[in-house]
């Protein structure tokens, strides 16, 4: 037997053993709790427990929140528990739409549409909070139309900027760059003063891809994004080459922090929080992160700088975001209705206001977003400018190739045209494999 096969078998064995062991614990805990929720949000456990206690006092229903982290450990636990049919009453597979569809089609996730229609529950949410886990009629995965998750919060990704560093080099801290040329010029001024202009966790593919996607929507619009997914527009199209060129322009003007293509986001967050970088592309969760790292940090947020008409922009620049963390109800759970009732209570105004204040996240209930800190208020107001949920998604293989080639452009390993050609080659390989 090869070493690789032996390693795979060992991983399966240990995963199965782990599920059996934790499954026994789960049965024990479920005997004490009416609703068991598995999650990965370690920073929210205390707030969740407080809400659970309040709900118990009001209803007599006991809810138990169980934390498993980091996210890769949690995701593997969910996958193994599904295999053994040991999922809790409420969970999140932390998956893209395709993988979520597989959980739904296997009967592990309940369709919540009927419940959402009762008493205007659905109408209390930001529209974008629901779209990520809503499946439209005729979707490519064969999922029955409906809403399949309860959003706890919403998020979007924007560019944080250090107001003190901006002032230090003569940039207006109340008027950050709005267009790409202004952004590049601001970066040059910062670099000339020996300040790293821009950082982000671009070693994490999804994050560099999210930054690039804003410019895909800016250049192509919704129909063009879909046409690329469907293979009607090649990745060698001049507009895609332009997207790669944007990263080359940032590189040539020395905007990137040193080592950005291998940097995880936690390190990038630390760099921005300690004033080592003037701008950082990050999500709305960064408000909580920066508060814990540097409570007195003086910063603002701005959308990614839009391309100009001269640069070929024909559509509004949109941002990655919408639904943040959500919870799914196990359709096989004997406590299904109790789980739904608790999640409905948890997303009402008072619990949502409490969660927002305790965790510094944007509440999914739009009626609870009126009293947010100024920076979070900017994020919440920009939820309307996040990407639309699409009926189709690009394959993970092609998406991975895009992200890798963006990184390769940053380090000068490939030209923008070469990077675009590499992605198109992978797109064609996947098209052949699907036939």
Q: 294-313 pLDDT, tens per residue?
A: 999 999 999 999 999 999 99
pLDDT score, position 60: 97
Same domain, residue pair 165 and 259: yes
Does residue 118 share a domain with residue 196? no
In a domain, 217, yes or no: yes
Distance CA 322, CA 129 (A): 5
- Classify residue 246: in a domain, yes or no: yes
Same domain, 264 and 301: yes
Give 117's Cβ-side CA count (13 Å radius). Answer: 6
Mean pLDDT for each 10-residue chunk of the chain (435 residues)? 38 42 45 91 94 98 96 93 97 92 97 96 91 88 95 94 98 98 98 98 95 98 96 98 98 97 96 98 93 96 97 96 90 98 97 92 90 88 87 91 98 98 97 85
103 and 249 in a single domain? The answer is: no
> Residue 376 domain-assigned?
no
24 lies in a domain? no
Smallest CA-to-CA distance from 319 within 268, 378, 261, 276 is with: 378
Q: Does residue 364 lie within any of the structural domains?
A: no
Q: How far apart are CA 372 and CA 384, in angstroms?
A: 17
Q: Please report, to the nearest 10 degrees, the dihedral formed by the alpha carbons of residues 43, 49, 55, 56 taken in order.
A: 170
b/e burial code for range 366-378 (CB count within 10 A of at least 16 → b): bebbeebeebbeb
Which helix H or strand E contains 241, and what residues bound it? helix 238-252
The CA distances from residue 397 to 174, 238, 288, 431, in Å, are 41, 22, 33, 11
Q: Is 406 helix (H, G, I), strand (E, B) or coil?
A: helix
> Kindly report the CA angle at 213 between 279 and 260, in degrees rounded to 5?
40
| pLDDT for residue 178 | 97
Do 119 and 213 share a domain, yes or no? no
Whole-number pLDDT of residue 140 = 86
**For residue 26, what pLDDT is reported?**
43
Q: Is residue 135 part of a domain?
A: yes
Q: Long-range contacts of range 367-371, CB-CB < 8 Å, 24 or more positions apart? A: 367/124, 369/126
Domains identified in the chain, total number: 2
The CATH code of the domain that includes 102 is 3.40.190.10
User: Domain containing 331: what range?
Assistant: 30-152+324-347
CA 40 to mean position of chain CA atoms? 14
Alpha-carbon gap, residue 420 to 148, rounded angstroms: 36
Q: Is residue 23 part of a domain?
A: no
Q: Are residues 398 and 266 in the same domain?
A: yes
Residue 3 lies in a domain: no
Task: Looking at the structure, tell me whether residues 89 and 111 fall in a common domain.
Answer: yes
Residue 248 sits in the same domain as residue 337: no
Strand order in the sheet with 90-91: 63-67, 35-39, 90-91, 326-329, 150-151
The pLDDT, as a whole number, for residue 372 is 86
**pLDDT tens sequence across 319-346:** 998 778 999 999 999 999 999 999 999 9
């Amino acid at each position: 037997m090869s070493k690789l096969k032996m390693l795979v078998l060992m991983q399966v064995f240990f995963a199965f053993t782990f599920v059996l062991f934790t499954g026994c614990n789960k049965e024990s805990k479920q005997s004490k709790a009416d609703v068991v929720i598995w999650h990965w949000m370690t920073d929210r456990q205390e707030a969740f427990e407080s809400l659970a206690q309040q709900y118990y006092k009001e209803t007599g229903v006991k809810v138990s929140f169980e934390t498993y982290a980091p996210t890769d450990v949690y995701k593997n636990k969910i996958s193994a528990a599904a295999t053994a049919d040991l999922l809790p009453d409420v969970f999140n597979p932390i998956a893209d739409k395709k993988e979520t569809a597989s959980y739904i089609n296997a009967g592990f996730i309940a369709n919540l549409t009927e419940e959402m229609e009762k008493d205007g529950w659905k109408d209390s949410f930001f529209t974008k909070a629901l779209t990520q886990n809503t499946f439209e009629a005729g979707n490519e995965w064969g999922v029955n139309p409906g809403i399949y998750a309860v959003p706890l919060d919403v998020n979007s990704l924007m560019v944080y900027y250090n107001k003190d560093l901006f002032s230090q080099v003569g940039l207006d801290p109340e008027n950050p760059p709005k267009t790409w040329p202004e952004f590049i010029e601001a970066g040059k001024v910062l670099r000339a003063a020996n300040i790293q202009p821009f950082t982000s966790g671009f070693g994490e593919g999804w994050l560099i891809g999210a930054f690039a996607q804003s410019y895909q929507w800016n250049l192509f619009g919704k129909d063009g994004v879909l046409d690329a997914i469907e293979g009607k527009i090649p990745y060698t199209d001049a507009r895609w080459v332009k997207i790669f060129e944007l990263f080359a322009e940032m590189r040539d003007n020395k905007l990137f922090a040193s080592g950005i293509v291998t940097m995880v986001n936690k390190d990038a967050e630390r760099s921005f929080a300690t004033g080592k970088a003037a701008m950082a592309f990050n999500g709305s969760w960064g408000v909580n992160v920066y508060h814990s790292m540097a409570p007195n940090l003086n910063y603002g947020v701005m959308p990614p700088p839009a391309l100009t008409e001269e640069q070929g922009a024909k559509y509004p620049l949109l941002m990655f975001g919408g639904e943040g963390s959500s919870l799914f109800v196990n359709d096989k759970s004997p406590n299904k209705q109790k789980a739904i009732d608790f999640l409905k209570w948890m997303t009402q105004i008072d619990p949502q206001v409490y969660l927002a204040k305790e965790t510094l996240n944007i509440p999914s209930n739009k009626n609870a977003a009126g009293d947010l800190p100024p920076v979070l208020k900017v994020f919440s107001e920009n939820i309307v400018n996040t990407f639309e949920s699409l009926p189709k998604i690009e394959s993970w293989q092609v998406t991975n190739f895009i992200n890798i080639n963006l990184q390769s452009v940053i380090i000068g390993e490939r030209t923008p045209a070469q990077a675009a050609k590499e992605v198109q080659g992978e797109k064609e390989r996947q098209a052949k494999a699907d036939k």
